[in-house]
Amino acid sequence: MNIFIVPIEPIDSRYTKQWYGNIPLLINQRANYLGVSVNVVTIDGADIPEGTTDGAFLNFGATNYYKATQAAAVSKLFMDGAVQPGDKFLITDAWNFVITPIKYMSELLDIPVEIHSIWHAGAYDPSDILGMKMSKPWPWYAEISWYLSSDYNYFATDFHKDMFMENLDIQEQFKNKGIRSGQPHDPIIPELEKYLDYEKLPQVMWPHRYNADKQPDIAEDLSSDFNMIITQKMNLSKDQYYQTMGNSKAIFSCSLHENLGISIMEAVLAGAIPIVPDRCSYSEMYLDEFKYPSEWTVSVSAYQENKDKLVKFIKDRIDNYQDYVTLLERQRVILKQEYLTANIMIDNILNGQISSIR
């Protein structure tokens, strides 16, 4: 059986570069464990420049060029007879029009394949940059089409899955195509846990993109109260970024949009106390002791009204770091078991015994 991976473009500053190598590794490891024989093939797109559009996760021009060349490569595989009935396609970013030609060729050439797609964000989320900038309703219909074309759709959190179903009004008979699976980040766990013994300094890290949904103005303002490490200003390498996490007592978020939040999870693995609002995916993922009331940072003006309470909350976690060490260990277990692994997805692809992360 062939497993064709259609990756999201590997960018050094994003976890997509780690996924590029790690996902094939995880599939092969799991296949060996389950005794399943597979041939894993990565379908690259054309080379694109490093860097992203301001405030975005990807470069909006380069990502389309990359995906278009992936679509051409997939089409050639079908034309050359390299795709066989029963093969699987894993689309690591479901906002990829390559899903359409795969479904088209599979049905019209009578080569039944399975499509497995990982959703990150999209126009269905009004707080995402796609939801804010794209005119409606055309992207919603595109997203529904890709969802229905996929045999399995994977969402890292219940929050994300439920929002997708509700905002796109997915009919009840199709909801079983959506699965809460976590994400395949297993290999970064030991890489980050080596920082647990690093000296923890009285600094707070703010790791997000400079975009409205992340509310950077709040982090900037808190810089007058704390040693606030705003990583987007520092041009850090990945190793330097992780070392900064390893030296930080806390990591702070005031995001209005978060379907998972890899940077907060990375920092917790490295031993930083998460300080997150009780909203979005954070509500289901984090212990109560690490969540502050959502209304404190629901807007910049709300933050100004509640700043004293937020400063006190953060200061307590920094000044009493050792009191939270046991809770931090519990939090790491939750993240590792439920959100940093995707065995459900990989087992579905391999037709193995479907596991449960509940």
Amino acid at 248: S
Residue 251 domain-assigned (yes or no)? yes
Tell me what the pLDDT averaged over the chain comes to: 93
CB hemisphere CA count around 153 (13 angstroms): 27
Quote the CA–CA distance of 2 and 87 in Å, as a whole number: 5
Rounded to two decimals, what is the model's pTM? 0.92
Indicate if 219 and 314 belong to the same structural domain.
yes
CA distances (Å), origin 289, targets 121, 252, 263:
28, 14, 19
Kindly state the average pLDDT of the residues 217-228. 96
Q: How many domains does the chain have?
A: 2
Indicate if 51 and 113 belong to the same structural domain.
yes
Instruction: Report whether the peptide linkage leading into residue 137 is cis, meaning its omega lies within 30 degrees of zero.
Output: yes
pLDDT over 50 (residue 358) = no
Phi, psi of 102 (to 5 degrees): -60, -50
Q: How confident is the model at residue 195 (pLDDT cuts 50, 70, 90)?
A: very high
Indicate if 165 and 30 belong to the same structural domain.
yes
Indicate if 263 and 234 belong to the same structural domain.
yes
Residue 327 domain-assigned (yes or no)? yes
Facing residues of 41 across strands?
Answer: 4
Indicate if 171 and 208 belong to the same structural domain.
no
Quote the CA–CA distance of 196 and 316 in Å, as a whole number: 20
Q: Which of 7-11, 57-61, 346-350 is the most confident on average?
A: 346-350
Residue 167 domain-assigned (yes or no)? yes
- What residues make up the domain containing 163? 2-184+341-350
CATH of the domain at 220: 3.40.50.2000
- Counting residues of the chain whose pLDDT is more than 70, the rounded percentage is 95
Tens-place pLDDT, residues 307-326: 999 999 999 999 999 999 99
Indicate if 152 and 244 belong to the same structural domain.
no
Tens-place pLDDT, residues 97-145: 999 999 999 999 999 999 999 999 999 999 898 999 999 999 999 999 9
Indicate if 53 and 142 belong to the same structural domain.
yes
Indicate if 287 and 140 belong to the same structural domain.
no
Indicate if 127 and 237 belong to the same structural domain.
no
Q: How confident is the model at residue 11 (pLDDT cuts 50, 70, 90)?
A: confident
Give the DSSP letter string of 243-260.
HHHHTEEEEE---S--SS
Residue 357 domain-assigned (yes or no)? no
Phi, psi of 68 (to 5 degrees): -65, -40
Indicate if 154 and 297 belong to the same structural domain.
no
Q: How confident is the model at residue 51 (pLDDT cuts 50, 70, 90)?
A: low
Tens-place pLDDT, residues 73-108: 999 999 999 999 999 999 999 999 999 999 999 999
Tens-place pLDDT, residues 235-255: 888 899 999 999 999 999 999
Indicate if 198 and 178 belong to the same structural domain.
no
Q: Would you say 118 and 91 are in contact if contact means Cβ atoms under 8 Å apart? A: yes
Indicate if 241 and 345 belong to the same structural domain.
no
Residue 356 domain-assigned (yes or no)? no
Give residue 54's pLDDT: 55
Residue 355 domain-assigned (yes or no)? no
Quote the CA–CA distance of 119 and 160 in Å, as a whole number: 9
Cα-Cα-Cα-Cα torsion 60, 65, 68, 69, nearest 10 degrees, comes to -150
Kindly state the average pLDDT of the residues 186-190. 94
Quote the CA–CA distance of 50 and 327 in Å, as a whole number: 38
Give residue 69's pLDDT: 96
Q: How confident is the model at residue 49 (pLDDT cuts 50, 70, 90)?
A: low
Tens-place pLDDT, residues 146-182: 999 999 999 999 999 999 999 999 999 999 999 999 9
